[in-house]
Structure 1
């Protein structure tokens, strides 16, 4: 019987600034049935406070400790590794957050931190990062997603830029967010639950479902957000269940509880 649920945000709870139908009622149902809930995300352009504000605007009840982001995990990882000097390729808000805890060093950084900078990606920026890596900096990425959904269309995500830097500099990036097992395990620890008691709901067969399975959690795939049937067909990863949307989650949990009883 599942006791905790990790809900991916973008593509499961909302898309862009629009709440997915059934998301609010499902979250209310989870709370009423005493499931531990965490909202997890690879979003690399927003701080945790910004994510909480976004949820509040959508009238999603979320406490600070329930929001677990890859940006937050990256900051924790840097501190755990005693990193002090960082060259961040991230949004302005994330850069500001980093500057409160680390020295922003674009001369001789210990770490090159890759997040999303949108349309600012260009040869000059990648080449600058390449030189930092060749000088000995470690490559760390907030996530390495292949693509994301925006404005109803798929768009290239930072995984392609991470792969380019790995290839050029001959290094291997440290991946902080999904599908990192440590990311999922930290979210489970925050609920004081073992992974086998936790259900992960996501729209990405690789990062969400694959990461969940590698971490010992159970992965459910929704057919919203950036769900792509062709990619799922090509993948060797098979979810525990595949549902149309988050609106179908209460029925799934009810049926799994009945099976266990």
Structure 2
């Protein structure tokens, strides 16, 4: 069950609530319905912990901005299946047949893309595009292995 299903009034017992991207269906009513399902024993699965994302109108809040409140209120911890979970990186490497020490993660989110990958042994490359903000770069919990102005600069980094 996703928050969209919750918002549309899902019927019957709910075993799992899945929280993905925070789009238009992500509402107070949907959060409240999810909270009630969690109180009745449903598991909480989160696709990521991103705080915001860039849209055509600018930055919008993402599910990571709401997830900690839902976890605390329902006294549950979300199982994160995407970034920054180690399982996400392990699954991607296994699928690609790649080794962490020989892999690059290129992303515009310093915490959930770059530093999370680095904690897993992957080289982290931050790009100053997308949702990159200088202030989040300065206040980050670590330092990227490389910083590029654009994804177009990647071939030069790779020596190509």
TM-score scaled to structure 2, two decimals? 0.91
Q: How does 1:1-261 map to 2 (within 5 A)?
A: 87-90=1-4, 106-116=11-21, 118-254=23-159
Q: CA deviation at 1:139?
A: 0.6
Larger mean CA deviation between 177-186 and 109-118 belongs to 109-118
Tell me, yes or no, if the aligned pair for 1:90 and 1:115 is still in contact at 8 Å: no
Q: CA RMSD in A?
A: 1.7
- Cα 1:212–1:106, aligned 2, differ >3 Å: closer, same or farther? farther
Q: Residues of 2 paired with 1:223 and 1:133: CA distance?
A: 38
Gaps of 5+ in 2: none
Q: Residues of 2 paired with 1:146 and 1:228: CA distance?
A: 13
Q: CA deviation at 1:152?
A: 5.0
Secondary structure of the corresponding residue to residue 120 of structure 1:
coil
Q: Residues of 2 paired with 1:207 and 1:113: CA distance?
A: 19
Q: Residues of 1 paired with 2:18 and 2:11: CA distance?
A: 11
Gaps of 5+ in 1: 1-86, 92-104, 256-261
- Number of aligned residue pairs: give it: 156
Q: Residues of 1 paired with 2:11 and 2:120: CA distance?
A: 35
- Cα 1:253–1:152, aligned 2, differ >3 Å: closer, same or farther? farther
- Cα 1:206–1:117, aligned 2, differ >3 Å: closer, same or farther? closer
Tell me, yes or no, if the aligned pair for 1:212 and 1:218 is still in contact at 8 Å: yes
Larger mean CA deviation between 149-158 and 202-211 belongs to 149-158
TM-score scaled to structure 1, two decimals? 0.57
Higher relative contact order (CA 8 A, sep 6+): 1
Q: Residues of 2 paired with 1:188 and 1:123: CA distance?
A: 37
